Amino acid sequence: MEKNERLLSMLRRYEEVALHIQDPSLVKDQGKYRDMMREYAQLGAIAAAHEAIMGLFGSINDVKALFQQEKDPQMRELAKEEMQSLEGLLKDAEERLKVLLIPKDPLDEKNIIMEIRAGTGGDEAALFAADLFRMYARFAETKQWKFEIMSSNETELGGIKEIITAISGSNVYENLRYESGVHRVQRVPATEASGRIHTSAVTVAVLPEADETEIDIRPEDLRIDVMRAGGPGGQCVNTTDSAVRITHIPTGVTVHCQDEKSQIKNKAKAMRILRARIYEQEAAKAHSERAEARKNQVGSGDRSERIRTYNFPQNRVTDHRINLTLYKLDLIMQGVVEELFDALKLSAQEALLKSERTETAPVEASAVPVA
């Protein structure tokens, strides 16, 4: 389907949805009502962008007519300047519409399971893992997302060897999907007496959380072991067999949860993490089968890929995938990451647009306006 046809189809669908949401019986099914309102908002943005373009076409035609009829050189010059300004606005509006017409990734609206693990660097890596966790937690707070710790393993110095968190809210995966990979830190550790800069690494994995209906996990494919939970240094933190380890035999994926005192709660959390990891495996398999243009976007999501460097002495953060450097690391570590995340999303959108350049533009100057 060409883009012009896609636009026409979406505008027709927008009118259909506008009628559906006026049906009083729709609110009885809250799930369907929520999905319908979300679709209405998305299509409404496209309809508004198209209407703005049509308005600009009308204004340009009016100014053209004035330019052709006007005899006064000064008035003709003013009309010419106005026409150039309107054409600039039209170009910007067409680019916005192109972005809106890019098919949305169905994963964008999903909640996520985020896994943060200390890599090379010992205690310093664990301390930076804790810093990264706080950065994401502060950003989630500004978005009014729900932040739930599923599993954690802390060090005696206040660092984190591993922490698994469920984050839920509006468009969580869309905002955090590009965080998967190796995060490198360069700074003087608090434990370093000589003042030498150390380089450490932390890995982050962002997994879209799968619904039970999306991943079929058969009970007979699971091996469930229960044990007593252990704390730092092997210290026993409770005297009941509340810790749970679940192994999915077909894939070999293993999840261990011990934070809750209840075995039932630990098992429920472990199943959520297991489902997300298996879902990620399936998504990675599908990703590898896509066209090369689709794979060469902002990172592959591979947690072994070095994506970013945080240099504390220079107050600098560099994202290596899009060659972006910001000298505001202090703010970023406080959760002020919108500029960084928006740049990643914009780069991904531009990559998608490039891959679709051969298709017809959504609105051409010679196109017949849609009534």
> How far is residue 130's CA from residue 132's CA, in Å, rounded to a whole number?
5
Q: Stretch 324-341: mean pLDDT, rounded?
A: 95
Asked if pLDDT for residue 338 goes beyond 90, the answer is yes
Q: What is the pLDDT of residue 360?
A: 42
Contacts of 203 (CB under 8 A, 6+ apart): 115, 116, 117, 119, 181, 182, 183, 303, 304
- In DSSP notation, 95-142 reads HHHHHHHSPPPTTTT--EEEEEEE-TTHHHHHHHHHHHHHHHHHHHHH
The candidate with the shortest Cα–Cα distance to 165, out of 143, 134, 142, is 134
Q: Stretch 257-278: mean pLDDT, rounded?
A: 86
Q: Stretch 232-254: mean pLDDT, rounded?
A: 72
> What amino acid is encoded at 343 in this protein?
A
Q: Stretch 29-50: mean pLDDT, rounded?
A: 86
Please state which of the ranges 107-116, 171-180, 297-306 shows the lowest mean pLDDT. 297-306
Q: Model confidence over 66-111: pLDDT tens digits?
A: 888 888 888 888 988 998 999 999 988 888 888 788 777 778 888 9
Among residues of the chain, what percentage have pLDDT more than 70?
Answer: 84
Q: What is the pLDDT of residue 263?
A: 85
Across the chain, mean pLDDT equals 82
Q: Stretch 43-68: mean pLDDT, rounded?
A: 90
Buried b (16+ CB within 10 A) or exposed e, 236-252: eeeeeebbbbbbbeeee
247 versus 280: the higher-pLDDT residue is: 247
Asked if pLDDT for residue 308 goes beyond 90, the answer is yes
Buried b (16+ CB within 10 A) or exposed e, 273-290: bbbbbbbbeeeeeeeeee
Q: What is the pLDDT of residue 315?
A: 96
- Long-range contacts, stretch 350-353, CB < 8 angstroms, 24+ apart: 351/293, 351/296, 351/297, 351/298, 352/102, 352/297, 353/98, 353/99, 353/102
Q: Name the β-bridge partners of 318.
A: 309, 325
Q: What is the pLDDT of residue 26?
A: 83
Q: Model confidence over 150-201: pLDDT tens digits?
A: 888 898 888 999 999 999 998 899 999 999 999 999 998 876 766 788 899 9
With bands split at pLDDT 50, 70 and 90, how would you rate the model's confidence at 279? confident
112-350 CATH fold: Alpha-Beta Plaits (3.30.70)
Buried b (16+ CB within 10 A) or exposed e, 181-201: bbbbbebebeeeeeeeebebb
Q: Model confidence over 356-369: pLDDT tens digits?
A: 654 444 444 333 23
Please state which of the ranges 49-53, 183-187, 274-278, 351-355 shows the lowest mean pLDDT. 351-355
Q: What is the pLDDT of residue 24?
A: 86
Q: What is the pLDDT of residue 31?
A: 77
The candidate with the shortest Cα–Cα distance to 333, out of 367, 303, 310, 314, is 310
With bands split at pLDDT 50, 70 and 90, how would you rate the model's confidence at 27? confident
288 versus 176: the higher-pLDDT residue is: 176
Q: What is the pLDDT of residue 368?
A: 29
With bands split at pLDDT 50, 70 and 90, how would you rate the model's confidence at 298? low
Among residues of the chain, what percentage have pLDDT more than 90?
Answer: 35
Q: What is the pLDDT of residue 233?
A: 43
Two tokens at 156? 């005696």
241 versus 134: the higher-pLDDT residue is: 134
With bands split at pLDDT 50, 70 and 90, how would you rate the model's confidence at 203? very high
With bands split at pLDDT 50, 70 and 90, how would you rate the model's confidence at 304? low
Extended strands (E) in the chain: 112-118, 146-154, 160-168, 181-187, 198-208, 222-227, 243-248, 253-257, 306-311, 316-319, 324-326
Q: What is the pLDDT of residue 160?
A: 93
